[in-house]
Every structure is written in structure tokens, then in C-alpha cells.
A and B are shown apart, each in its own frame.
Chain A
């Protein structure tokens, strides 16, 4: 079964650092782009950035450039998004999703990681 499994929810304080993860299985992890998507409470979806595990090519949405770091560890089939200093406004659900190989849709989604900064 193709799936993305994300790390568990986090409760952090402002100023703390955080790294959440997304492990892929059931497919060739290095051959598909992974996107990170933010959903703030009661709000819509926002693309934060994307990474290609095959060569770590990473692209950020202008709104998130410099605010987060997206990375990947191919050896354990895991993508990450990291904050060095969290703010209350980072409170959200964060999803990872796989970009399909033949089109621009995101065809497989993780279960989401809830990050609460308070």
C-alpha cells in the first residue's frame, strides 16, 4: 500500500525549535516530489514548499521562504519540515503529500501533524 505516515502532534512554546517528519512507503520514494501543505485552524490549504528526494531539489513558496527548512533523508525514506524558532502563528495542521508522477495533482496525503505553539 502506498502511504505517507507523519509524526505525531506537537505542543511547543514560542521560540522553540521543531522538526516534523513524513515517511513514505509502498513506492519508489526518490522518484516523486513531496509537498508540505499548511492548514491553519479553520482555514484553507497553503503550499509551503516541495522537495524531490532523488536529488534534494527544494522549492519554497515565497510566503515560507526563510521561515522553514524542508529536507529529506533518502536512507530512511523520510521528508522533514523544520522550524528554528516557532511562533504562535505557526499553529496549524501540516500535511505532506506526494505529487503524482504524470500530473500536477497531489495523489497521496499523510494523516497530518498538528502543531500547537502556545
Chain B
């Protein structure tokens, strides 16, 4: 299974909003509403910030939101803060007997 496609990097200034895209195919992102997003600060473990396209786990800031259109999912971070600087990964359920999810290649967010 191929990885989902994300931009290598995005940047924004404090207070601004940014959007990270995650493009899959009709057998993963396009077929299921099971897209998740993870935040990984350097040197730390990934952290789940969005599940099932647009749901936030308890404790995750409402500045993080998710959406999906066709084969592309998106993560939007509003009111950028310096602490948001991290790597962001999307993942999607795929219809396979051997594997539950496939990840995107990751997007480095720089807060200017």
C-alpha cells in the first residue's frame, strides 16, 4: 500500500491559520471516514489530535480541526502558536485483511 501524500512543509505566523492536505485514493481516504491526524514534536512520540476525519480527542485544543473532500483530507490549525511547530502525519483506514491504516509522509509545520 502506498503512503498518503502530504506537503513536505508548511509555515505560518503566530495567530494565522494553516491547512495541511493529505491525498489518498478511492480505496482509503475517499472510501472511509476514518482519517486520523497525529502531531509529533521533535524527540517525542506522536500524539493523536484528530480521528474519524473531524473529531478531537479529549484535551486537544479546538484550534485543530479536520475535514475531507473526495480523496483529500485536511487538517486546519487556527490561531497558530509557537508550540504548534511540529511534524504532522495523517493516516487512513484501508480496506485490507493485512493492515488497518496507512500513513502520510508527514508535514513539517514551521511557525515563523
Contact = CB atoms under 8 A, between A and B. Distances in A.
A99 B45 CA distance: 15
B89 A59 contact: no
Interface size class of A (residues with CB under 8 A): 20 to 34
Interface size class of B (residues with CB under 8 A): 20 to 34
A110 B48 CA distance: 12
Contact of A109 (B3, B46, B57): B46
Interface in B76-112: 89, 91, 93, 97-106
Contacts of B1: 61-62
B51 interface: yes
Contacts of A44: 3, 89, 103-106
B51 A103 contact: yes
B27 to A, nearest CB: 15
A9 B106 CA distance: 24
A95 B46 CA distance: 9
A33 B93 CA distance: 14
Given A44-B89, A44-B106, A104 B100 contact: yes
Interface of B: 1, 3, 34, 36, 38, 45-48, 50-52, 55, 57, 89, 91, 93, 97-106
